[in-house]
Amino acid sequence: MSDSPLPVVRLRPKAEARAIRHGFPWVYADELVTDRRTSNLAPGAFAVLEDSERRPLALVTVNVQSKIIARVMDRDPGATIDRAWLSARIARAAALRDRLHDAPFYRLVHAEADGLPGVVIDRFGDAAVIQPNAAWAETMIDDLAAALADVTGVTAIVKNGTGRSRGLEGLAEETALLSGRIEAPVAVPMNGATYMADILGGQKTGLFYDQRPNHAFAQRLARGARVLDVFAHVGGFSLAALAGGAESALAVDSSAAALALAEAGALAGGTAGRFTTRQGDAFAAMEALAAEGARFDLVVCDPPAFAPSKQALEAGLRAYERVARLAAPLVAPGGFLALCSCSHAADLTQFRNASARGIGRGGRRGQLLHTGYAGPDHPMLPQLAESGYLKALFFRLDG
């Protein structure tokens, strides 16, 4: 039994304590005893988790408003979660990224995989964006920001409190500049291209670092090619392709603001003369391009998460199939098609099967060349399948 001054929460007798001992980081609401004392804990409070026989397992953060009612903070039930603890976790994450990358542009903290549950931090040179997607991180946002500045020396820190994850935690949406000044989109060098990241008002943290290795693979396929980048955001695949020697690139996205940033990135990278954009619904744009008889040597589709939950899985897989069906006819004979999914609810096999069906329904056949994942600055926690969400399939299509 724990002698910690912290409150104690306890697993139900049928809950699997072994999973926690072996590294699983979450306790679901139906696995915890939710008596009056536990129900009265403030969202984000820390507690000692015990098994059903009252043996301490870990120090956790509790949020009775969430289906993930407890998240493991430290395997040591006697740990103290303070600014020094946060600094140690951030420093460990930073040491890995500094080994992986020559410049400070990367995902610095990838939530549970880096030991900071529900926290994402992306670094943009002297600036950083924190996404506090768990109640404890919202409560300790000032300490998180201070620890981040202490470890990295960043001078501007943004809190991005938007997205589905915060809603599931019962947290309000809010974006705020916590320290420093940010006066313009931040120029981000990656794979020889320059991207413009709106870290105050853009989607999520302003740029998707997870696709870096997949941009690089597409870049090799794009040499001398005509490229179509659908769901382009700020030009992730198209700007990388142009930097690698693509003949031309067309970026399609529904957001005029994102396409304006893509155009600014092309100008900054010296590739604006080979870059065009088309604003509008991606599905409608692909149908229109097909009607125009347009063909491309490389087509890339990187849509938002169509299956963000198990409840959305069937509809999401149909959407991925539709993307492949509309994209396949736009690929020139012998050309390449890249299809991406960031839906953790759709596993690799399900996504691959939906993509293959769509390609077939689009009247094409091909070979699967390569399967890509998020870069190593987005490490996976092996016990948590959700941390391996990104899949990128590269096909070569026949005539």
Q: Is the pLDDT score of 141 beyond 70?
A: yes
Q: Give kind and range of the element (H or E) at residue 260.
A: helix 256-268
- Burial class of 215 by CB neighbour count within 10 A (0 to 12, 13 to 18, 19+): buried
201 falls in which pLDDT band (50, 70, 90)? confident
Q: Is the pLDDT score of 91 beyond 80?
A: yes
How high is the pLDDT of residue 184? 87
Q: Is the pLDDT score of 183 beyond 90?
A: no
3 falls in which pLDDT band (50, 70, 90)? low
Q: Give kind and range of the element (H or E) at residue 265.
A: helix 256-268
104 falls in which pLDDT band (50, 70, 90)? very high
Write the pLDDT tens digit of every residue in 47-83: 999 999 999 999 999 999 999 999 999 999 999 999 9
| Class of the CATH-defined domain 188-397 | alpha beta
Average pLDDT over the chain reads 95
Query: Any alpha helices (H) in 25-182, and if so which ranges?
Result: 36-39, 83-100, 135-139, 141-152, 164-168
Structure-token match 């091909």, residue found:
366
> Which residue is catalytic, options 137, 232, 234, 342?
342
How high is the pLDDT of residue 4? 65
Q: Is the pLDDT score of 2 beyond 70?
A: no
How high is the pLDDT of residue 14? 84
Q: Of all residues in the chain, what percent carry a pLDDT higher than 90?
A: 91
In this predicted structure, which of 26-35, 101-110, 158-167, 267-276 has the lowest mean pLDDT?
A: 158-167
Residues 154 and 106 sit within 8 Å (Cβ to Cβ): no
How high is the pLDDT of residue 89? 98
How high is the pLDDT of residue 203? 79
DSSP annotation of 112: G
How high is the pLDDT of residue 76? 97
Active site residue 340: no
3-state secondary structure string across 307-367: CCCHHHHHHHHHHHHHHHHHHHHHEEEEEEEEEEECCCCCCHHHHHHHHHHHHHHCCCCEE
| Class of the CATH-defined domain 83-179 | alpha beta
How high is the pLDDT of residue 15? 86
Amino acid identity at 119: V
Write the pLDDT tens digit of every residue in 252-311: 999 999 999 999 999 999 999 999 999 999 999 999 999 999 999 999 999 999 998 889
Write the pLDDT tens digit of every residue in 331-366: 999 999 999 999 989 999 999 999 999 999 999 999
17 falls in which pLDDT band (50, 70, 90)? confident
Give the pLDDT mean for 93-100: 98
Write the pLDDT tens digit of every residue in 145-176: 999 999 999 999 999 999 888 988 999 999 99
| Class of the CATH-defined domain 8-74 | mainly beta
Domain ranges of the chain: 8-74, 83-179, 188-397
